[in-house]
């Protein structure tokens, strides 16, 4: 089955928004930028929601392309690969910002989500994905209201007051967003046909290109941004 241009375009937009959000975070963290903090906080959360929601939809499309017969090992290998890239970011940030390094960022989340999705993509009742998605999100908000004495289960969103990480996307609530994406993907793309008809032009081609290469862009954008910022400063 062919790729759906609208998903690549949406992912391209999402990666641009994420790079923009991380640029502001760099300014805040390294250059004491403090204007419009509330606006940028919600901008970052909305961008993350879009990016992770699209990851759930993409899992459905990949599932459809393989005729729903891909073995678990395929999901495990792919998830482990993405998670390993996340661990490289963990190591790099531990070297440069040891007090606030990335412990469980967006790549860790997506890697684990790919592995866990094997079960949820095979649920015959798609509304169970909606149900569990809502449950994960609600528990995520609940965990944020509770102060725990340990960070042992930080991957689930269970953290203490002293926990600190410059990029943190625990399974609660964020795997719930992946499940909501899976639910939407199975509703919208049950027959793997586009919902929107985009006219091909230089703009859509650009966004589509960025979307197809979003992983590479995510990996290289921070060194480039920080290098430019320190050079200009």
190 close to 126: Cβ distance less than 8 angstroms: no
**Residue-level pLDDT at 198:** 78
**Residue-level pLDDT at 67:** 60
158 SS3 class: coil
Cis peptide bond N-terminal to 110, omega within 30: no
Backbone torsions φ then ψ of 197, nearest 5 degrees: -110, 95
Q: What is the pLDDT of residues 78-126, one digit of tens each?
A: 999 999 999 999 999 999 899 999 999 999 999 999 999 999 999 999 9
CA atoms in the 13 A half-sphere facing the CB of 25: 17
Query: What is the mean pLDDT for each group of 10 consecutive residues in the chain (233 residues)?
Result: 87 97 91 90 96 97 77 94 97 92 97 97 96 98 93 96 94 98 96 85 95 95 89 78
Q: How far apart are CA 116 and CA 186, in angstroms?
A: 17
Cis peptide bond N-terminal to 144, omega within 30: no
211 SS3 class: helix
What does the block give as tokens for 212?
């197809």
CA angle, 112 as apex, 83 and 65 as ends, to 5°? Answer: 100
């Amino acid at each position: 089955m062919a790729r759906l241009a609208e998903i690549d375009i949406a992912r391209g937009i999402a990666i641009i928004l994420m790079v923009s959000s991380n640029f502001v975070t760099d300014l805040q963290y390294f250059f004491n930028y403090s204007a419009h903090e509330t606006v940028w906080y919600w901008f970052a959360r909305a961008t993350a929601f879009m990016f992770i929601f699209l990851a759930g939809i993409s899992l459905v499309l990949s599932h459809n392309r393989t005729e729903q017969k891909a073995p678990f090992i395929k999901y495990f290998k792919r998830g482990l690969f993405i998670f390993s890239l996340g661990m490289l970011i963990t190591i790099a940030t531990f070297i440069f910002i040891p007090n606030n390094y990335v412990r469980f960022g967006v790549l860790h989340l997506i890697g684990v989500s790919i592995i866990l999705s094997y079960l949820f993509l095979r649920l015959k009742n798609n509304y169970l994905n909606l149900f569990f998605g809502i449950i994960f999100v609600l528990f995520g908000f609940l965990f944020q209201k509770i102060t725990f004495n340990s960070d042992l289960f930080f991957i689930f969103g269970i953290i203490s007051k002293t926990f600190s990480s410059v990029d943190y996307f625990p399974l609660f609530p964020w795997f719930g967003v992946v499940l909501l994406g899976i639910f939407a993907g199975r509703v919208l793309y049950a027959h793997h046909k586009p919902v929107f008809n985009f006219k091909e032009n230089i703009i859509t081609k650009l966004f589509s290109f960025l979307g197809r290469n979003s992983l590479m862009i995510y990996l290289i954008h921070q060194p480039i941004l920080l290098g430019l910022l320190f050079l200009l400063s």
